[in-house]
Chains A and B, each alone.
Chain A
């Protein structure tokens, strides 16, 4: 199945602050990248020309990922946080709204929050040392067979290393300072379903191990190669399977190849006036197949649904053959839904090649908003009420005080005295006049979408509820900045790494009545564990309620600390993360809401789904893939 991608919100990808702006950015990318002639046309042709590795790329992500993307960090090469000559923080590049802007209060925040200092810097090595890379061991007979198929492949060291990892902290750390023990021996780029069928057949014939790779944004160690794997490991990169095969306007569905990344999918659908509305935080880089493989969730799921609600039909190539349904219907009663064996299987059963997904007309109107609450408790109560009345906007998130301050630190330099005066006035009103404690208050960010009239009506309804819980409307700008935080945070981790600060995010889902207890206990556990493990400065331990459901919520944590004085920071980090997960489970939270299990969270699977449940999954694996061709060892 296509590589784990999902909402790598840990790495948090890009959730630009508005979908519209996102489209603008995305089209910016596209204009800059070469497009194959005729690729815009939606042709049902089974396969495009197969001209080997030199073939033109059509999506945003080239075959040589490193040409566009950082090899040892998150996102685009040209986009990153730096401290400029004046010592002020700045975001480079022109891809994001924050690009080229100075963030005057950020330095102070980072110093105050982490006890970090600009004088204490670590540096990643400048480039990959090819001599460290484990050699590629591929049997010649397989290579001959592979060449016969005309499918593009590479045994280049860089290509292989850049497909050996996702974006977990320890993976990035290894890139900066070490080397993976085991990486793929060969990378193949199928361009269509039939190519995948051929590769899987060859793998079965030669007894190889296939690890599907989509966007590479996994944050569950799902892409790491099992060290003990003795067979040749084939990294099956789906990025060149990225066409929309057809759009069905009558049924509002589109059939899409699974390697397409989120930004390309939305961009190409937009050309016909449609969207999927699926916006995981990693949507710039993560792929459709990855979403399916990890049970991804999108920011606007309140309108469009999560991936399981969006998918109408899946085609997957397995060692047993091809699995798919015989029709494309909204629902069927034909035993357990086989889609649910596929969604969340994390590349252990096969490769998702084509997905029929629901589409919607691009919404007419979008509006951000924000509400300040006197404290987190009131905020959660308000979100609960909104969920109860089933009037949640496209997105509604509640960030705690620490995250609110974090967001504040990312406020760009104000252009005029007038705006800064207005800001001061607002602050005065909220803290002095309304008596909110700036160190306790928290903020909900909102995104409304739809008909203009309905949006305004909806907005009023939500603000009315908020008022009942002591909430004060705090403007569109705050809301927009809140969503911006989600995508820049992944870039921020790279900056932190330069200054001895390491961090990660993790998520869970939890029933409503336990939300507050879980948030408090997990944050406290992190602080405590840091202290016990000798972390010298109190960590950043913050959370937000990021999705609401009828019966509960999804909670998202950020956790980072200054590791100066600690000899083995990654080990300490992993111990703390593990403790935090234990705490989540003890508080009635789930193992994962949307990041998936991978290899990082495997140890808790039995506890999560019971012995029998695990056995059920195992028996499916045994039937579908008896020789463990899809041997990434995720999940089970």
Chain B
């Protein structure tokens, strides 16, 4: 069975790169002789030469002429516009800025983090890849530290520094924006779907750098930092841009390198929780950054960076891409990718994210958080240790990549997690409780809000397990939902859940049955279920596992039900996302205040958005484009039917029963 390799996969060893930094001079490090490994076919050029090449490329010139014709304007004016776009967008990588970052980041990272661990073999593979073909770095995105850290890492290992696709909002920050630009960041507007000139210039800019092998190109498949630490479903735009030079055979091959960066403690954890609860995100500003410097006194534990095996795009595409469409049209003409290509791009995106997930290091604290969330408000310390240890075994069975320091006893591991995350949970009278200070003296609303904050922060860590667990866990949930143990019925429930949660978790498109089989296989492996020809049923021994797994995903099952209920009852008219989020938040908030639900996670705007798009995909909500965005129309009947599928089969659990 193919997923067997998943669990027995051998992974590389880690090295701490900060160790060396703590022993020798940062200044000397920043001023070291930097002669990076570069692409073999590279003819060195300056950032400005790239911009000029882009501006004069057939691709951009073609669009300029087209637009000039359509709008009846002079091409010069549009060319001017293109120049401005390029100036706004383009990086100006300079060694000086890089050295400045090398120095300051050394100082900052040593303050913030205990260790920064890297798999050196991955770096070696990357070194070969960079020399051989153009390389695209695809890191996971949990924090702003991601791209700083990655560039820092490449500098440390004497590899070509990447150019990084960054959001335009960074440019709002004085000095910092320009500094990032000099360190290799280039800036893209958040949305430019309709702007053909922008699209042409941007795409050509990226492709020019890729084709010439100028530098590794780095961007985030997830599009933005995941506020929940759960991998976001991929965005396809940039990926399809970097794949195009291969499709058109302008390059022989392109390497895609999945990189998993995991944080023992995420720098932005509380910001994210506020944001998810609807307290607006502060705009990026330099003064904001300076204010944030107090976090420098805090400890954020260890970072693990796992550089995955470079994946050859040529190998992925072999036999999948018909060559005809690209042979019959001049290559500089903008061409809408065929359905084949779009499907391929999407498959590759999911594959890369699944590789990120596979190599994402999980800390002991992640296990603690998962156990704790099922045992609120308080859990006996010893029991927590016991359960954590049990969950460690289960996670490893499911192929999770746990970094558990050698010989570290469970107690110490849990304690060190609690120390590092004292802002989230603490030990009171031999019991572990969530740290939701101010509970006693606030108004009801305040209490709910405080508790929600603590739950969401805690959930951020549990969430790191979910994509590893999702296949077996959804089988477990399906087992409880299905009216019988017959395989088809369990599978149909699984399939339903997989569809509903397709925005919440990462599933490779179109292989529902394979996912189901994998889930069953893993559950069988840990003796939780048995399967016969026709039936799947939980074993006596495994009922604990099955109920743990379904409890783990209960917040999502319940949360979605709440949100669906809101939509089916409250939303008679067309609405926008801006109206929907506060509406559903209030709805859930009131239920929490009344105590008629305990599902605090339904307050998360992330879950709310995902639930809405799930309904759109299931056809129960119609999404319409209007000039200022989108409006939504609920098909009450369809939503009720989906709710029935949940409701009729699993009654909403009472909080007490949710305990393990």
Contact = CB atoms under 8 A, between A and B. Distances in A.
Interface in B134-178: none
17 contacts: A513-B330, A513-B331, A514-B249, A514-B331, A517-B249, A518-B249, A520-B252, A521-B252, A524-B252, A525-B252, A585-B323, A586-B323, A587-B249, A588-B249, A588-B326, A588-B327, A607-B324
A607 B330 CA distance: 19
Nearest to A375: B43
B250 A517 contact: yes
A525 B326 CA distance: 19
Given A513-B330, A513-B331, A586 B249 contact: yes
Contacts of A518: 249
A518 B248 CA distance: 10
A352 B413 CA distance: 88
Nearest to A377: B43
A83 to B, nearest CB: 35
B538 to A, nearest CB: 47
Nearest 4 A/B pairs, CB to CB: A588-B327, A586-B323, A587-B249, A524-B252
Contacts of B326: 588
A586 B327 CA distance: 8
Interface in B249-282: 249-250, 252
Contacts of B327: 588
Contacts of B330: 513
Contacts of B331: 513-514
**Interface residues of A: mostly helix, strand, loop or mixed?**
helix
B155 to A, nearest CB: 30
- How big is chain B's contact interface, by range? under 10
Nearest to B58: A513
Interface centre among B249, B250, B324 (most CB of A within 10 A): B249
A258 to B, nearest CB: 35
A36 B330 CA distance: 57
A262 B116 CA distance: 74
Interface in A485-520: 513-514, 517-518, 520
Interface residues of A, number: 13
Interface in A601-624: 607
A610 to B, nearest CB: 10
Given A513-B330, A513-B331, A521 B249 contact: yes
Nearest to A610: B324
A521 B330 CA distance: 18
Contacts of B250: 517
A518 B323 CA distance: 14
Nearest to A589: B327
Nearest to B245: A517
Contacts of A513: 330-331
Interface string B286-327: 000000000000000000000000000000000000011011
Given A518-B249, A607-B324, 19 more contacts: A513-B330, A513-B331, A514-B249, A514-B331, A517-B249, A517-B250, A520-B252, A521-B249, A521-B252, A524-B252, A525-B252, A585-B323, A586-B249, A586-B323, A587-B249, A588-B249, A588-B323, A588-B326, A588-B327
Nearest to B321: A586
A607 B249 CA distance: 18
A326 B250 CA distance: 50
Contacts of A524: 252
Contacts of A521: 249, 252
Interface in B325-349: 326-327, 330-331
Interface centre among A518, A524, A586, A588 (most CB of B within 10 A): A586
A517 B249 CA distance: 7
A520 B253 CA distance: 11
A520 B252 CA distance: 8
A588 B329 CA distance: 10
A518 B249 CA distance: 8
A524 B252 CA distance: 8
Nearest to B317: A586
A187 to B, nearest CB: 43
A521 B249 CA distance: 8
Nearest to A583: B249
Contacts of A587: 249
Nearest to A588: B327
Interface in B396-419: none
A585 B249 CA distance: 11
Nearest to A516: B250
Nearest to A523: B252
Interface in A525-540: 525
Contacts of B324: 607
Contacts of A588: 249, 323, 326-327
A518 B251 CA distance: 10
A586 B251 CA distance: 12
Contacts of B323: 585-586, 588
Contacts of B249: 514, 517-518, 521, 586-588
A520 B249 CA distance: 10
Contacts of B252: 520-521, 524-525
Interface string A529-570: 000000000000000000000000000000000000000000
A590 to B, nearest CB: 10
A517 B331 CA distance: 12
Interface in A574-597: 585-588
Interface centre among A521, A525, A607 (most CB of B within 10 A): A521
B321 to A, nearest CB: 8
A230 to B, nearest CB: 36
B42 to A, nearest CB: 14
A254 B252 CA distance: 49
B207 to A, nearest CB: 13
Nearest to A585: B323
Contacts of A585: 323
Nearest to B328: A588
Contacts of A517: 249-250
B331 to A, nearest CB: 7
A523 to B, nearest CB: 9
A588 B252 CA distance: 14
Nearest to A520: B252
Contacts of A514: 249, 331
A520 to B, nearest CB: 7
Nearest to B318: A582
A607 B323 CA distance: 10
A583 B327 CA distance: 12
Nearest to B331: A513
A513 B326 CA distance: 13
A471 to B, nearest CB: 19
B278 to A, nearest CB: 51
A518 B327 CA distance: 12
A67 B368 CA distance: 89
Interface centre among A513, A525, A588 (most CB of B within 10 A): A588
Interface centre among A517, A525, A585 (most CB of B within 10 A): A517
A524 B41 CA distance: 12
